[in-house]
Chain A
Amino acid sequence: MTAKSFVRKVPSGMSGLWRATAPKLARLDIELTERCNCACLHCSVARPAGDAEAKAREWPTERWQTLLGEAAGLGCLVVRLTGGEPLLRSDFEAIYLHARKLGLRVMLFTNATLVTPRLARLLRDVPPLEAVEISIYGMTRESCEAVTRAPGSFAAARRGLGLLAENGVPFVVKGAVLPPTRGQADEFEAWAAGLSGNAGPPAFAVLFDLHSRRDAARSAGIAGLRSGGDEFVRFSRRHGDEAVGEWGEFCGRAGGARGDRLFICLPAAASASVDPYGRLQYCLGLRHPAAVYDLAAGSLREAVTEFLPRLRETRAADPAYLERCARCFLRGLCAQCPAKSWAEHGTLDTPVEYFCGVAHAQAIAAGLLGPGEKAWAVRDGAERAKRRRNGS
């Protein structure tokens, strides 16, 4: 017996935990419901809270509990409970407790309006082990409810935050840059910094996906709210050029064009998501039928060990993708991915002009492209990125 240290502490991010094989499933995202008590302008998911048809189709408590057990059996360490608004489910506590008793860490995504004293105490006594992530849209009642279109949601969310803070439950708040909230970011950051219980600086959603079930009217509404590439660059630069420097760095690290492989998104590796009706997807936004596996007709193990690895091998066929994205040195920086292509075009592999424009604006700001240059057409893209990374 020689080892004096018998325990090894590793950061909860999990990198470094596995000495041999990593588990087949590291994280499972569960969309407990598509319903929400808010109706945010930019939301790519939500249905009305009272949508009885959606509610009737949602998986019942026991199905989720069984699935969580299967996920734990595959080595899953973290489960994200999201929606819609997951707290609309009357069985939320039962599902949450089941996950925690299986030894899963829980990431809870909520708008905080339905946090009750009882739930806050539960989160205090049986902590999720991940900061609760709370979307808050707007610094005033007017701007907030212009986004949520839910009267009373501003006060309800503040009350929810207060309950979490009183009970010492760590959380982070997330904002969004939308017409009613434009220009509020600094105030939002200062407010967030002063919140007791707040575990970190806020993140802002600036670039929005179209509707993930491809509702044309909803998508048109979201498209009308989007910030352009230049506005995104200005927003990212509001505290200095650090972010812009990181874009250059990132492109250098990402190593240039990625060819015709479609699924290159690192955070999604070894993770999966399930919609409220038991359909497993590669990630939350990707509802293309070819990328969906019906758990009712199979098993989580089969989905994770056979279906997803097969899907990850999918190659692009769209000529525009092959001409552009496959040869583009901004591929690592650009948000283009199968989920964006699905929401925008109903395909897996069509370049999305909106995200293409944003990536080009970022690249120009980072000194990687000149105005008018097209990233896929420059021959020395990888060298430019490398030079930027080396600071020359």
Chain B
Amino acid sequence: MTGKIELGRAYRPSDDVVVREIEGEIVIVPLTSGIGDLEDELLTLNETGRAIWARLDGSRPLAAVVAELESEYEDAEGEVRVDVVGFVQELYDRRMIVEKS
């Protein structure tokens, strides 16, 4: 399940991972086999990662996620979009999110 993510599509957390909030940290735990290389590691999100992750709930297209974050974070033109797309692509490649059908 690889491929390029698209700004016009909505994404949501995959059923193959469990996302937990523990003492203020978001911890992503694989449920099924083959989720990235996580079997020896735990994955946590930093503040920015959390801001993106919280919006990946399947309710809005990725372009809307980018627009919301652009209004929240003051960055050079286009930088937010590059960051978000890069991160979401990584999550998608790791099968941690899926396209909302």
Contact = CB atoms under 8 A, between A and B. Distances in A.
A124 B46 CA distance: 30
Nearest to B49: A6
A377 interface: no
B22 A23 contact: yes
Interface string B11-40: 000000011101111010111110000111
Nearest to A169: B33
Given A12-B40, A12-B41, A19 B47 contact: no
B42 to A, nearest CB: 5
Nearest to B51: A1
A72 interface: yes
Contact of B29 (A4, A6, A14, A129): A129
Do most interface residues of chain A lie in helix, strand or loop, or is the interface mixed? loop
A6 B87 contact: yes
A23 B23 contact: yes
Given A1-B75, A23-B22, A17 B44 contact: yes
A129 B39 contact: yes
A126 B44 CA distance: 20
Nearest to B86: A4
Contacts of A5: 46
Most chain B Cβ neighbours within 10 Å, of A4, A7, A19 = A7
Most chain A Cβ neighbours within 10 Å, of B20, B22, B48 = B22
B42 A20 contact: no
Interface string A1-18: 111111111111010011
A259 interface: no
B22 A77 contact: yes
B23 A125 contact: no
A383 to B, nearest CB: 40
A17 B25 contact: yes
B42 A10 contact: yes
Contacts of A10: 41-42, 44
A20 B24 contact: yes
A102 interface: yes
B23 A21 contact: yes
Interface in A92-128: 100-105, 124-127
A75 interface: yes
B25 A11 contact: no
A126 B75 CA distance: 41
A22 interface: yes
A126 B31 contact: yes
A105 B29 contact: yes
A20 B23 contact: yes
B83 A7 contact: no
Contacts of A18: 23, 25
Contact of B42 (A9, A23, A102, A127): A9
Interface in B76-96: 79-80, 83, 86-87, 90
A100 B83 CA distance: 31
Most chain B Cβ neighbours within 10 Å, of A1, A10, A11, A17 = A1
Nearest to B90: A7
B22 A75 contact: yes
Nearest to A11: B41
A180 to B, nearest CB: 35
Contacts of B33: 124-127
Given A17-B25, A127-B32, 4 more contacts: A2-B48, A11-B41, A12-B42, A100-B18
Interface of A: 1-12, 14, 17-23, 72, 75, 77, 100-105, 124-127, 129, 170
10 contacts: A3-B46, A3-B47, A4-B83, A6-B45, A6-B49, A8-B43, A12-B42, A20-B24, A127-B32, A129-B39
